[in-house]
Structure 1
Amino acid sequence: MNNGRFFLGLMGVGLIGSVSSYVFASDSVDVGTVSVEGQAKDSGQMVQEDAAKARSTVTKEALNKQASTENGIDKLKYTPGMSVISNDDTGLSGFQFTMRGMDASQIGVTMDGIPINDSGNYKVYPNLLGDPENLEEVFVTQGTSDSDAPHIGSSGGNIGLVSVRPTKDSGAFVKQIFGSHNLKKTFVRFNTGNIGGFENYLSLSHATSEKWKGPGDIKADKIELNSLWRGDDGNSVNAIIKWHRQEGIEYGTPTLSQYHANHKVDLPDRIETKTKNGSRYISGSYYKQAQNPFENITSSVTGRFHISDSLLFTVSPYFYVANGGGASAFIQNLNSGSNKGGIYDLSNLKTSNQYKEDGVLTSGSYYRPSWTETWRPGITTKFDWASSMVNNIEVGYWYERARQRQSKPYIPLNSDGSPSDIWANFDNPNQVKDANGRTVQGRQYITITPAQKIFLNDTWNATDNLTLFGGVNYTHVKREGNNKGSLFDQPKKVSATYSHVLPNASVKYQVNNNNSVFYNVSENMRTPQNYALYNAGDSISTKPELSWNNELGWRYQSDAINYSATLYHLAFTNRQLSTKNSDNQYVMKNIGKVVNSGIELELSGLLPQNFNYYASYTYTKSEQKNDISSNGVTLPTKGNQVAGVPKHILNLMLGYDNGVYYGSLAEHIVGKQYGDMTNEQSIPGYGILDLSLGYRIPYVSTTIKKPTVRLSVNNLLNKDYLSGVDSNSFSSKKHTSNGNTYKAKSPQYLVGEERFFEVSLEASF
């Protein structure tokens, strides 16, 4: 891959034509229209919120006190409503999370206003989250997908990551990290100060680490540019571009029986072989085939212009491009008889018998990664009009045209079974060609998704204590699929269109200086994943997933204590799931209605002698309302808890901070989780204790400023546990009815990392 050309070309495009929804007013940042108001309290895990909806913010103070390499999603692990599970603590490997019973593919996530959910399947990947050192805050709206948020796959709720601003003074910030499993990370950020009216920074980082279980390692490089211009009249323009490139080995995810046999079970460290009729052949895969390379750029430029004293215009174009993928440790055989789709001439390949007879172990076996290339330009424009002293109207338009190209090429193996090239770019000459010079593909899709949204919001301060909000948006999405043919498919073009009017409303009443109550109701839509265009059966007719979110909340806020309590009820229809039919073909399944309901509690406060505390509790009942039919068998899923969703999550934190020394102990307790939808297999709950210590060195020299030494220890007591569900199943047991049989399928789980420590030294110059 020509990385220099790729990076420089996209950097130019990004700086010219991409933008984020980063807001430069001193009192707020937003994704959609969600304000942060008030000062961070205590440990920084909770701020005084003013929104008429459930909302939680983790400030930079709290971000810095958690493990330095954890990414922005990892750092939400103590936030109410959130259940975050990660493969490890490097911040670079995979993770999953649920929020109020919704999984990661149902929650809209933005980085400085850019939507970073995958445009096809809505998943979120750690490579898109940037360096945590460059984060100012991370916030969550637990149930409402804001009417102006740039999402088409959010059934409810937003997560927003907000970058730090460049400083007015020049200087540098340097951080060096060392940790368990040979973890090393170097981070440096250079601030230019004010040059010609622009404030800028450039940051660079390099990180490497071994896997904590099983063989393999991971490495990543990041570059971030941020440039801010602020005019005397309140106008501003901000340009942000973030580049990331990584290579790594994936973790194996065991079944329950595999975990019980070996708690550190992972991918084999060598090729597994068998002998048949005197010929030895590869019977299994190993860690070098579980590759996960990825390169991406997110870029943005936001302009905010005061047309008059009462009218503000914001224009926010953005551009995102990505190239990467991976394989979960499997290989694919390919021979002259493999052409089921009939579009290739494989006469240039040997037969399977000829491969067996040539005496070369890797003959006929290939690395077959799932590869995706994404180009995603978009723009949001909006007007904010203060029509009176008590009324504010917002009207705007969002448009995006995402293009995804997905393939599964065949790449030859080296003699030891490792791929000859882990980068499966579409112009890579190492991929297998047929007799006519065409690259052989096991999948070849191009999906174009034009999406647009028109929104109107009105905020009315009816009295000094009563605030009313009403909003509506019209969302229109088209999926245009071009199956260009593969070893298994004939070429075919398909399309589907989805549109819906989505209202939301809220009311907030300020009872007195400390107490306020709110009620919020909103409808959200999740457009079917792009799989619906290509899966078997009638998947193309899959309906959008719709949800109604209701929440009733109370907040008590003072200088010494903050408390919030929220009751919520989130009802889904047309819950979507991709699964396989009896012919082992992928299909989209409508599993009917699901209702998530529960309560979220959050508390923080100050204690004497510089001590502080924080606690959060979440109860989630995520109930399936229908039985599910699979392969002609009706499975008893009605009334069951959704797999992978714990009912109880409790976080308790005691901290100390006198301005020089700080420290905290945090207990993270998670209830049991079911691995299947029939609730016939589960993993037990667990509790993890984390330790954080820091020393802010008072004075070194006039050159070295704010030197700080930090120590983080996750899983301090080295608990052995399963942290969550990686892939669930309909049922882990066999079921039969009407002469049909559902074969048991074992769920797979994520193994919690052993004790992990990290030491960092940072300073400004």
Structure 2
Amino acid sequence: MKLNPIFAMFLAAGLGGWTVAALAEDSVDVGDVNVTGQTLGNGQMVKEEAPKARSTVTKEALEKMAPTGNAIDKLKYTPGVNVSSDDSTGLSGFNFTMRGMSSDQVGVSLDGIPVNDSGNYNLYPNLLGDPENLGEVFATQGSSEIDAPHIGSSGGNIGLVTLRPEKDFGVFGKQTIGSNNLRKTFVRLNTGEYMGLSNYISASHTEGDKWRGEGVLRADKVTLNSLFDDHEGNTLNAIINYHQQDNYNYSNPSKAQYKTYGRDFDYLDSPSYNSNGKIRTGTGTTVNGVTRGTGYSVLMRNPFENVTASLTGRFQLRDDVLLTVAPYYYWANGGSFSNFTGPYSLNRTTGNAGGNYDLSNLATSAQYNADGTANGGLYYRPSITETWRPGINTSIKWDINDEHTFSTGYWYERARQRQSQPYIRLTESGKPVDISPGYDDGNAVVDANGNVIQGRNQFTVTPAQKLFAQDVWSVTPDLSLTAGIAYDYSERQGNNKGSLTAKKEKRNQTYHEFLPSFSAAYQVNAENQAFYNLTRNMRTPPNYVLYNKGDSLSLKPELSWNQELGWRFATEDVALSATLFYLQFKDRQVSSYNVTEGDYEMLNVGTVINKGVELELSGLLPHDFNYYASYTYTESEQQDDLLYRGVNLPTEGKTVAGVPRDMFNASLGWDNGRYYSNIVGKYVGKQYGDMTNDESITDFAVADLNLGVHLPVNKNLMKAATIRLSVTNLFDKDYLSGVKSTQFSAVDYDPRSTNSTKSDPYYTIGEERTVSVSFEGSF
């Protein structure tokens, strides 16, 4: 039976129970939460006092969602945020928008470490840590924090905060099992506090099958957290996170492919072969005129390894002066292969436009075709990125008097990034001999002079710095004004070391802007607060501009002005917030294909205006029931037409691709302190796949169910024990959840048909009904 999306939404809101979280001050949880009663918002809504829109998901809410989702997945019910993930493991790819801004326009940090890619600002789940170790996740939907360590944040900020060590010795363990052979084991050991020093170390292993197609998802994580507190206002907190994964990618269909193949669409299970026994490349399998491709699962790998380390020192220099010094280091190495047309070919006659290699040691295409092997001349060519990223954040906060608090600080970072594409040999069955090759790996193909042949060979250095100053003026006990200014300066230093398609060349560019901010908060009475916020944000162009053809290097930074007018109401039983927002950003950056140059370039596609309203409500009901709801209305409108491939595309007045106009979340729950249940319904409106709004995916509604029981325990043996059950997509809705790859136009606007503007958008398939059960205990 097919359910109308809106009917299903209200049905979801009316079934089952849920739990909600406490009106608490904006702070970090410092230990495991033992639920003893009802709280507002299931941890989805806390009492925010910042004079700007901000939403916080607390530890309680994190625990009561699906146990394996990553930190961004946990924001899926938050106002303004639309998340679409390949699956619920938290290990695979995802996209999100926030107030109409894409994920690469939003700055994300983990304990003060920026975790967006330093080159293109993409965000990857492997950098988000174990959700069991998170104390909270917060989002400032339109404004970057003035001290946030980002150069690519024109559309807001997301922060992940790690739990602090507990003061008592203890062990926390959690075992999760679920659909598609999902298994996750998590253990955390707290040493307790001794002479001001407390620590924990945690380790986890997650493994499961892809829910569609062949392949597995596998990850290991280790976290070390040490806190020294002299109990006189001085602390040192060191956090180290290690992650290693070996994942298989999902394939994302076009709308036509989804219509033909359904939600089971993915890469081929094994290679297909030509009549002469060679592994096939090219367009591949076609059904009803729709191509499935020749990419096969064993090639579609995504190995990755990374380490993040931070040391945050807070020193109370005087009763009224606090100094914070926070150096950090980020290292990551890995890459992905997801070529829809199968393995890459390489032979003596392969295009060598860069002139960097002598390919005379390779056979010709004809010789490879006649060599009697299935894989002759065919290779695994992953896109590998290795990043080294040291930085430091410093700030001083001075309580000048009862009316003024002044803060100033400085951030510096020097990111280095090497991006390569070596050709790796295949076995007879089509498997790569090495899925994690180094820059000059012995398994990579070399030319006649012994040089590793690269499809891409770039080294980027990005020094970045920010200086800020801010004053908070308490004009009256009820009225506070905050004014600040930041100066953001960054460089892009690019060294194209030469590849098959590019000559050796060095380029560089600098970007700098003043970013002012102003906000006001007025406490009308004990229950009501009003606020206004005005913030300027900036996004430095990605490192692509150093290597693309055309005039990419002169691209201007993306600048935005964010305005918010909000109201908050809170009592012991009800909390309500409403925010009007108007966000204008100009010089929007989009990657395009330059027909004349035969390569990609970055385009300035003009101005975009995002405006709308965010509503959030939570409260308590009689007999241990409670509720939570949020609604977002967003108009995200392009203000200019776009010249693409010599054709003027009618994009003025059109909606930005991937941005739904309406989003609604509704939750109803029950919690008596021992048992809890909650059901959450989510409705997402229509999303366009292209900038001309010629193709879209329909609206949808899904529901998730969560149940749990806190078991009675012998306190001499255990501190606490809980069993939790989660079901995502409860009604097994078959749907497309989001836009994975936006295109300029899904139809051809070239009347001469010499330069087609048509390209198919690609989408994320919503995961089928998935069940997980977790058993956890504290000792």
- For this structure pair, what is the TM-score category when the shorter chain's length is used for normalisation? over 0.9
- Say whether residues 1:302 and 2:312 are aligned partners: yes
1:763 aligned partner: 777
2:257 aligned partner: 258
Letter in 2 for 1:549: N
1:8 aligned partner: none
1:337 aligned partner: 349
Matches of 2:755 and 2:449, distance apart in 1: 45
1:293 aligned partner: 303
Matches of 1:702 and 1:609, distance apart in 2: 32
Matches of 2:615 and 2:526, distance apart in 1: 20
Matches of 2:612 and 2:662, distance apart in 1: 10
Matches of 1:574 and 1:424, distance apart in 2: 38
- Say whether residues 1:374 and 2:387 are aligned partners: yes
- Say whether residues 1:320 and 2:330 are aligned partners: yes
3-state SS, counterpart of residue 760 of structure 1: strand
CA contact (8 A) 1:280 1:356 kept: no
- Is there any run of 5+ residues in structure 2 with no aligned partner, and where? 1-24, 30-37, 283-293
Matches of 2:440 and 2:454, distance apart in 1: 13
State the Cα distance separating 1:655 from its structure 2 match.
1.1
2:721 aligned partner: 707
1:9 aligned partner: none
1:188 aligned partner: 187
Residue of 699, 714, 725 corresponding to 1:685: 699
State the Cα distance separating 1:300 from its structure 2 match.
0.4
2:494 aligned partner: 481
Letter in 2 for 1:311: V
- Say whether residues 1:588 and 2:588 are aligned partners: no
Matches of 2:552 and 2:406, distance apart in 1: 40
State the Cα distance separating 1:389 from its structure 2 match.
1.2
CA contact (8 A) 2:272 2:279 kept: no
Percent of aligned pairs sharing the same letter: 55
Per the normalisation by structure 1, the TM-score is 0.94
CA contact (8 A) 2:545 2:553 kept: yes
Query: How many aligned residue pairs are there?
Result: 732
- Deviation by residue 1:718-745 (Cα, 9 ceiling, x = unmatched): 0100001110111111112577543421
- Deviation by residue 1:704-726 (Cα, 9 ceiling, x = unmatched): 22100000000001010000111
2:19 aligned partner: none
2:287 aligned partner: none
Matches of 1:432 and 1:64, distance apart in 2: 48
- Deviation by residue 1:549-569 (Cα, 9 ceiling, x = unmatched): 001000001111110000000
State the Cα distance separating 1:504 from its structure 2 match.
0.3
- Deviation by residue 1:520-578 (Cα, 9 ceiling, x = unmatched): 00110000000010001011111100000001000001111110000000001000011
CA contact (8 A) 2:644 2:757 kept: no
State the Cα distance separating 1:28 from its structure 2 match.
3.5
1:491 aligned partner: 504
1:598 aligned partner: 612
Letter in 1 for 2:567: W
Matches of 1:297 and 1:664, distance apart in 2: 36
Which stretch shifts more, 305-314 or 345-354?
345-354
Task: Return closer, same or farther for 1:184/1:394 CA change in 2, 3 Å cut-off.
Answer: same
2:162 aligned partner: 163
State the Cα distance separating 1:273 from its structure 2 match.
2.8
3-state SS, counterpart of residue 742 of structure 1: coil
2:527 aligned partner: 514
Task: Return closer, same or farther for 1:449/1:40 CA change in 2, 3 Å cut-off.
Answer: farther
Matches of 1:204 and 1:538, distance apart in 2: 48
Matches of 1:409 and 1:209, distance apart in 2: 29
- Say whether residues 1:422 and 2:435 are aligned partners: yes
Letter in 1 for 2:272: E
Letter in 1 for 2:729: N
- Deviation by residue 1:307-359 (Cα, 9 ceiling, x = unmatched): 11111100011100000011104421111222331111222111111111111
Pairwise mapping of residues 182-261 of structure 1 onto structure 2 (< 5 A)? 182-261=181-260
State the Cα distance separating 1:455 from its structure 2 match.
0.2
CA contact (8 A) 1:653 1:664 kept: yes
- Say whether residues 1:360 and 2:373 are aligned partners: yes
Matches of 2:115 and 2:648, distance apart in 1: 37
Matches of 2:656 and 2:231, distance apart in 1: 53
1:401 aligned partner: 414
**Structure showing greater relative contact order (alpha-carbon pairs closer than 8 Å, 6 or more residues apart):** 2
3-state SS, counterpart of residue 132 of structure 2: helix
State the Cα distance separating 1:42 from its structure 2 match.
4.0
Matches of 1:720 and 1:328, distance apart in 2: 24
Pairwise mapping of residues 24-63 of structure 1 onto structure 2 (< 5 A)? 28=27, 41-63=40-62
Letter in 1 for 2:326: S
Matches of 2:365 and 2:676, distance apart in 1: 65
Matches of 1:707 and 1:629, distance apart in 2: 61
CA contact (8 A) 1:391 1:459 kept: yes
- Say whether residues 1:524 and 2:523 are aligned partners: no
Pairwise mapping of residues 119-198 of structure 1 onto structure 2 (< 5 A)? 119-198=118-197
Matches of 2:753 and 2:709, distance apart in 1: 68
Matches of 2:295 and 2:375, distance apart in 1: 11
Matches of 2:196 and 2:519, distance apart in 1: 40
- Deviation by residue 1:371-394 (Cα, 9 ceiling, x = unmatched): 000000000111100000121000
- Deviation by residue 1:241-281 (Cα, 9 ceiling, x = unmatched): 000000011001001111011111110112123348x9775
CA contact (8 A) 2:253 2:762 kept: yes
Matches of 1:608 and 1:489, distance apart in 2: 69
State the Cα distance separating 1:64 from its structure 2 match.
0.3
- Deviation by residue 1:47-96 (Cα, 9 ceiling, x = unmatched): 00000000000111111000000111001000000000100000000011
Letter in 2 for 1:297: V
3-state SS, counterpart of residue 519 of structure 1: strand
2:3 aligned partner: none
Task: Return closer, same or farther for 1:740/1:638 CA change in 2, 3 Å cut-off.
Answer: farther
3-state SS, counterpart of residue 367 of structure 2: helix
Which stretch shifts more, 656-665 or 740-749?
740-749
- Deviation by residue 1:419-463 (Cα, 9 ceiling, x = unmatched): 111002224211111122111111110000000111000001100
Matches of 1:649 and 1:572, distance apart in 2: 22
CA contact (8 A) 2:278 2:374 kept: no
- Say whether residues 1:733 and 2:747 are aligned partners: yes
3-state SS, counterpart of residue 42 of structure 2: coil
3-state SS, counterpart of residue 46 of structure 1: coil
Matches of 2:680 and 2:531, distance apart in 1: 30
1:574 aligned partner: 587
Matches of 1:523 and 1:738, distance apart in 2: 43
Matches of 1:389 and 1:267, distance apart in 2: 64
Matches of 2:773 and 2:368, distance apart in 1: 52
Matches of 1:42 and 1:27, distance apart in 2: 15
Matches of 1:249 and 1:404, distance apart in 2: 24
Matches of 1:398 and 1:385, distance apart in 2: 18
Matches of 2:748 and 2:333, distance apart in 1: 40
1:268 aligned partner: 268
Letter in 1 for 2:623: Q
3-state SS, counterpart of residue 360 of structure 2: coil
Task: Return closer, same or farther for 1:737/1:593 CA change in 2, 3 Å cut-off.
Answer: farther
Task: Return closer, same or farther for 1:238/1:402 CA change in 2, 3 Å cut-off.
Answer: same
- Deviation by residue 1:203-232 (Cα, 9 ceiling, x = unmatched): 000010100011111100000000000012
Matches of 1:469 and 1:485, distance apart in 2: 50
Pairwise mapping of residues 662-677 of structure 1 onto structure 2 (< 5 A)? 662-677=676-691
Task: Return closer, same or farther for 1:573/1:280 CA change in 2, 3 Å cut-off.
Answer: closer
- Is there any run of 5+ residues in structure 1 with no aligned partner, and where? 1-25, 31-38
CA contact (8 A) 2:98 2:155 kept: no
Which stretch shifts more, 732-741 or 524-533?
732-741
Letter in 1 for 2:114: P
CA contact (8 A) 1:259 1:265 kept: yes
Per the normalisation by structure 2, the TM-score is 0.92
Matches of 1:272 and 1:301, distance apart in 2: 51
